[in-house]
Structure 1
Amino acid sequence: MIELYSWATPNGHKVHIMLEECGLPYRVHAVDIGKGEQFAADFLAISPNNKIPAITDPDGPEGEAISLFESGAILLYLAGKTGRFLPASTAGKYEVLQWLMFQMGGVGPMLGQAHHFRIYAPEKVPYAIERYTNEAKRLYGVMNKRLAKSTYIGGPGYSIADMAIWPWLRSWKNQGIDWSDFPHLKGWYDEIGKRPAVQRAVEVLADQRKPITDDRAREILFGASQVQQSVRPTR
């Protein structure tokens, strides 16, 4: 049984999707990041970067228990464990991996900044809003061009690259995106969204997540609490 520590965010959804798609049994543990539960000692023991998601697998490599943080690493682990959603051929594998890295290094961080400055920042900073909205549009354009000639992001088959990217596009409106500018990407987005496993995955913990509206949650997520919790001594 995979023990999943997560919250209903794009990074959480990536792993929810993979677990639903590959059919591995799992048990979910809510980590309410708006309340600061990501700083609990038990969670930090498996996710030292205080970010969701994280997993533990008592039946890990060679029968030994393993814990993992970072959603990309978890996707790769689950693909290796099940032999699914990552091509067996060397060329096919690296074609998928480059797009997984594209998500980890570009789509997630940049769209996250677009969300922050367009929606969550306590003051509107025009330069930052323009900067990250433009970067969001650029990234959407890269994916749209890719999907003009490829059935899926990582190649001809559905893969962990699609699972990694799709959840980040659910908030397209908050990113300043007009879908009419990206028809190939929109077609892919709609197709992935119809998959039963994806529909189940986005409901995981969805009833527990609430909009970030209070100052305390904003401070925990975006303020000095992040630094204080990271530098305080461990016991």
Structure 2
Amino acid sequence: MSNKPITLYGHATGPNPWKVAIILEELKIPYETKYMDMGDLKKPAFEKLNPNGRVPAIEDPNTSITLGESGAIIEYLVDTYDTTHSLTYTKSPEKYQVKQWLHFQMSGQGPYFGQAAWFEKFHPEKIASARDRYKDQIKRVLQVLDKHLSSTGKEYLVGDKCTYADLSFVTWDMMVPWIFGDEAGSLEIEKNYPSYHAWNQRLMQRPSVQKIGQDKQKAMSGK
């Protein structure tokens, strides 16, 4: 396979394109990021890349594939480029347990965290019941992760290594202090979710995560 850069379509603030970027960094896949204006995402040109009209999307000139949706993109990148299986497993049950946690991230973490962000920061009316519901769901997701990690006594979600499932949670987790704002301290994450906290800290120390954190700050500042 040739090694032409993949084009990653994203925008500066959204967690999902950065989630894909972490996997690209982990696997040392050459890529270029094209930052999209939000107003262009629902136009026909971009909807050809992702019919849902949202980022991320990728174009891979090495395989001629165009793909949207972060979870599908991550599975594609791992299946195509992770030839040493550094971020996954090839045998059952671990192979499917990794998929389980990726699907939980997409169905549980992403939507609930996203709705919490919407009702806290962007919704024109302050609806207490909606704000409380989605912040409570963030706490529930943290509890699910903490309970699993505590019960297995392992450093990562599946097996004995960091996988693409672990990394898929990072960029949404980065948003928790921003979502909760002045209430963030009341979460007492290290005390209330100690296994989750230790896991998250391990992930935050990975070079790929640190680089993407820096890239995101630069993108948001326009540098």
Q: Assess same fold via TM > 0.5.
A: yes
Partner of 1:209: 220
Partner of 1:198: 209
Partner of 1:223: none
Partner of 1:215: none
Partner of 2:36: 31
SS of 2:54's equivalent?
coil
2:54 aligned with 1:51: yes
> 2: CA distance between counterparts of 1:169 and 1:41?
32
Partner of 1:92: 94
Residues 6 and 29 in structure 1, CA contact (< 8 A), matched pair in contact too: yes
Q: For 1:49, give the aligned amino acid.
A: N
Cα 1:205–1:168 change in 2 (3 A) is: closer
Cα offset, 1:205, TM superposition: 4.8
Partner of 1:182: 193
> 2: CA distance between counterparts of 1:30 and 1:203?
16
Residues 13 and 167 in structure 1, CA contact (< 8 A), matched pair in contact too: yes
Give identity over the alignment, percent: 35
Partner of 1:137: 139
Q: For 1:132, give the aligned amino acid.
A: Y
Cα 1:87–1:42 change in 2 (3 A) is: same
Q: How does 1:65-144 map to 2 (within 5 A)?
A: 65-83=64-82, 84=85, 85-144=87-146
SS of 1:209's equivalent?
helix
Cα offset, 1:178, TM superposition: 2.9
Give the unaligned 5+ runs of structure 2. none
Alpha-carbon deviations, 1:25-60, whole Å to 9, x = none?
A: 111111132xx1212332211111011110011112
Cα offset, 1:144, TM superposition: 0.6
Alpha-carbon deviations, 1:37-85, whole Å to 9, x = none?
A: 212332211111011110011112xxxx100000000000000012331
Partner of 2:156: 152
SS of 1:122's equivalent?
coil
> 2: CA distance between counterparts of 1:113 and 1:178?
22
SS of 2:32's equivalent?
strand
Q: Tell me the TM-score normalized by structure 1.
A: 0.82
SS of 1:203's equivalent?
helix
Q: For 1:204, give the aligned amino acid.
A: D
SS of 1:90's equivalent?
coil
Judge which range, 152-161 or 70-79, deviates more. Answer: 152-161
Q: Tell me the TM-score normalized by structure 2.
A: 0.86
Partner of 1:16: 21
Segments of 4+ in structure 1 off by > 6 A?
none
